[in-house]
Chains A and B, each alone.
Chain A
Amino acid sequence: MIRYFIRRLLEAVPVFIAIVTAVFFMVRFVPGGPFDRERPVSPETLEALNKYYGLDKSLCEQYFSFLKNLSRGELGPSYKYGGWSVNEILAEKAAVSLQLGICALLIALALGLSAGFASAVLSKSKIGGALSGFSLLGICLPSFVLGPLLILVFALKLNAFNAMGWNAPSDAVLPSLTLAMFYAAWIARLARNGAIAETSRGYVRTAYAKGASRGRVYLVHIARNAIQPVVSYLGPAAAALLTGSFVVETIFQIPGLGRFFISSALDSDYTMIMGCVMIYSAFIIIFNLVSDLLLAAVNPRIASEMSK
């Protein structure tokens, strides 16, 4: 199992380098540069800026100096936010997005699994149908509708939370709910469909035939089989949640990483783009690996495949 883990990490290295390389060249082929403004800058200033940031060198030289810095963990200065290095911005903003993302992930899991399994158990009754309808609503409702709706009800009408900002712990409630809803709904559907498909399996009949109660059959026998699609989905979902969301962070005015994904690309802030891309792809790689390991913990057959 440990060998599998190490092998997967080693396999991820060339993938990571390929992504970084592709993005490095792609952003430089996009017309415009980091110092283009609405008001033109004088050619002398532009030349000085390019020289200062090393952008006057050839692409190849720039690429290798980027790799050299990367190997030391240096991502360089941001072109847009003077005086800030990309490392500093990432560290500060990612921490906020991470907190928000973890809250959202936990909410999504708790809500999604309980709603999903409940609607599977009650699939023949009206409550089950209603739950599955709600989950469809959760998938269809975009966060730019849900967020303002939550603000309207809980902040403006009920005065229970602040409408925006990121100061008190309670400020995390509305944005993480907004962020979590889509994922909760998706998890609920995966869990529900998984559980319903499992109920017609032979081992369920065996479990009833040996005298197990309905609760036991669902919680012990069906749950462990039905949770597998949810576990596989958790990898990409966690990566997306933890790197922040542009929409949610903008609605709730949260100083997270999400908006940098968009703004850095619009500003051609090359170093910042690279930082965002690297964080996102690292998260994807890591969380896919984590979800595969979790899957092995749930399903012994997958575990034995891995230790081969």
Chain B
Amino acid sequence: MSLLEVKNLKITFSARDTSTEAVKGISFRLGENESVAIVGESGSGKTVTAMSLTRLLPPPPACKVSGEISFDGTNIGSMSEKDLRKIRGRQIAYIFQEPSTSLNPVFTVGYQIAEAIRLHFPEEKNVREKVVESLREVGILEPQKRCDSYPYELSGGMQQRAMIAMALACKPRLLVADEPTTALDVTIQKQIIDLLKSVRQKRRMSLLLITHNFGIISELCERVIVMFRGNIVEEGACRDVLHNPRHPYTRALINCIPRLGARGRKLEPIDYDKL
């Protein structure tokens, strides 16, 4: 049985008199301990899809979500707010794109991680110990000291590590990483990817990676879903899609990856008229 099942998901945003369908009826599954990437350009609907999994999108009428999302057999859409809070963070945890704005600037990193633990394990006594442990797990040096640091005292890479520590603190079954490396520079990107990879192997947790970067998915994911303008255009094993893309959009996206050493080859922008 799959851990996450999405059926005919439609997401529509409405402003005064216009409405935009960001996601146009997509369906996919994600198995226990499976790692899947959703790839697509900006505006393809991948981030809102990720947000809709725990109903993090603004409430109607601004945003309307239809279709069925079931996690471990329970329907997310019909859940009460209270039950949903038990899923958020505990079962499905998130990492966001911009670590500097995703952490609250006026609380210490330790406080924010401890908050996640206290929300889901109120009986836990050694919260601080757990926080230090989770910071150590994501490779933060001197975790005892860093616990009391404020986000602005950490570099971007460290902030993203702290975000990952916060997401992992409650041992979720599914980690949704929404462009976790986009805001970081290349060397830090590699570190974060390696970190996610090792944590996933150790924890045996499922991963849904949202990205526009084909370069990082082959390292992390087994399966890939390609989204374009709110639809899934291609889906398959990572290797097949990368080496043998069937849809022209996928081909165009893969063509956009800059390659080291490829002299004289111009980076090609996507020509939408051909699609």
Contact = CB atoms under 8 A, between A and B. Distances in A.
B40 interface: no
Interface stretch (A8-16, A50-58, A200-208): A200-208
B207 to A, nearest CB: 16
A40 interface: no
Contact of A301 (B81, B85, B87, B105): B105
A210 B93 contact: yes
Interface residues on A, range: 20 to 34
Contacts of B93: 209-210
B90 interface: yes
B102 A210 contact: no
A31 interface: no
B15 to A, nearest CB: 14
A213 interface: yes
A211 B103 contact: no
B71 interface: no
Contacts of A208: 56, 88
A209 B89 contact: yes
B104 A225 contact: yes
A27 interface: no
Interface in A206-231: 206-214, 221, 224-225
Which of B102, B152, B163 has most A Cβ within 10 Å?
B102
B89 A202 contact: no
Contact of A205 (B56, B105, B152): B56
B119 interface: yes
Contacts of A201: 101
A301 B56 contact: no
Interface of B: 54, 56, 81, 85-90, 93-94, 96, 98, 101-108, 112, 115-116, 119-120, 150, 152-153, 163, 166-167, 170
Given A202-B96, A212-B85, 19 more contacts: A201-B101, A202-B98, A205-B56, A206-B102, A207-B104, A209-B54, A209-B96, A210-B88, A210-B93, A211-B87, A211-B90, A212-B115, A225-B104, A225-B105, A298-B106, A300-B150, A301-B105, A301-B152, A304-B153
